[in-house]
Structure 1
Amino acid sequence: MTRSILSGLLGLLSVVAMASLPSACESGGVGDPCLPEDEYDPQFAGFKVTEENIESRSFQCQTRICLVNHFQGRVSCPRGQEAPATCKPGEGGCTDCRPSGTYAPDCDPTTDDAGAGQCLSGACDPTGSFCRCDGTEDCPSDDWVCLEGVCTLHICRDGFEGCQDPTKSPEENEGKACCVPGTEDPVASPVCGQCGADSNRNAEQAVYCSCRCGVAEGEREEDYQDFNFCECPQGFECAEIRPNVGLGDRNITGKYCIKQGSQFRGEQDCGQVQGRYNSEQCEGTP
């Protein structure tokens, strides 16, 4: 688990915004762009085109649903990036060594052992309810350092040419890094480039506000009498995104409004990748 101040603020904003949103599913705003909250995690390597993600409490969408419909990479970083070089403060070899996220698993200091059994170091912060570190051995790998009791990863930013911007052209984003949206904080993971612009799997065609328009195949709408399904607006069709396999929240399974003609047929849909391609990590072709 990673923590950051920005992620915490984002969560607070979500709670505040949620209070003013309707409880029923409405179709207003379907198709509006949205940025999944996962992208505020500097350790997040991006989405996989073989998977879907339904963010059901999005403060950015009138519908409260930010749909990631079989999309590859990060919305905020169209061309992706190779894994950036890590560094350690004060050890030389890097002029601009910047922090990129922290690692602090949750723990419960109210337990009989004060949360010690939940932490590698045996130290559970009594006020923050997270595991503190005593040294690098309490961190995920030797790339991390223990600073003031918290595992921190640093990225070398020597030669930094700026952050990618999804509103810019591929040429303008060439050579630039993936950053936490709205900041110049570096993303620490390798990220696949987005699928081809004509593939229906890039951010514009696969990530946007949506709403639940029907139950999963094999279910009955009358079993969801307390749920108001939406009608898809012009240019959208109602298609099953998440089957109900008996796991997770049944209220987010089923059909959602997607752009017409954008149903996922297989990883071959990705087409030519716009940027970083690695055959072991990315779908599509270089």
Structure 2
Amino acid sequence: NRLLITTGSLQAIHILARAFIDPGDRVLVENPSFIGALSAFRACQAELRAIPLRGDGMDMSLLAKELNSASPQPKFLYYAPNFHNPAGIIYSMEVKQQMIALLRGRNIPVIEDDVYSDIWFDEKDLPEMMNLKAMNPEGIDICFTGSFSKILGPGLRLGWMLVPEAIYRKCELIKQSIDACSPSLSQVLADKFIRSGEIYRYTARIREEYKNRGETMIATLEEHLPEYVTFERPRGGFYTWLQLPKGTDTTIILKRAIEKGVVFVTGKTFDPAGVQNDHMRVSFCNTDAATIRRGIPLIAQAIREIIEK
């Protein structure tokens, strides 16, 4: 494996997309999925084939059906294993083992996008969070992407990919054609942060702050949301994914919420088909506990005013 430093993890995903995709190629993604990755794949004119998420990861029966279909073989599978954006879930070890079994022998690489795994709230989740890259399954090329943005600051725009040698050589050429190299200043800062050990002390501090915000979000949602709105309790990361009654148009609710001074991201933003809109993503990463306590009741009011009118 070779390490390639990139200008944010999103650039790593863009480079991998350009390395693998020709126009019209099939790519397997989650539904919902990270909008940045979807945009990168669309920019390369990929055909996105979506596998729905459950509470413990992709629906493996539907992944098997997709893999066994008569359609051309997909160029790769993209997934986010820990504290998924937007769904907030952790892939279970059982699902990851099933994924390995389904992919083995098919020559389908995996892009494993794991930028939130340092922001866990409970140590008991750590064994379940092991990456496919660390598991190193025989016969499957795992392209791992990571980022300093979530732990040091998004302004650094510093990420990386860890990929097999043959894939690295192609990605290196693409990287050089984009921006030659990522900013040296950001790399020197990150290097110093790691070598001094400060990265571990700092990450421990911000983990506690995000945990406090996440727990405040959970408590406030449980207190104010109508009973027909459900959500996955975040165990780390930045986001909570709310599920509203089937067929709800969260764009209408968003307009009402904006009138009240609060915002969220509508569900269809993360749907590879851009259609399903009965979910919403609320974030606690850049909002302190007091603001969360003021803002969530306003979102709950907007939901009730639209759905119960």
TM-score of the alignment, normalized to the shorter chain, above 0.5? no
Larger radius of gyration: 1
Choose between structure 1 and 2 for higher RCO, CA contacts under 8 A separated by at least 6 residues: 1
TM-score calculated relative to the size of structure 1: 0.29
Counting helix residues as a fraction of each chain, which structure ranks higher?
Answer: 2
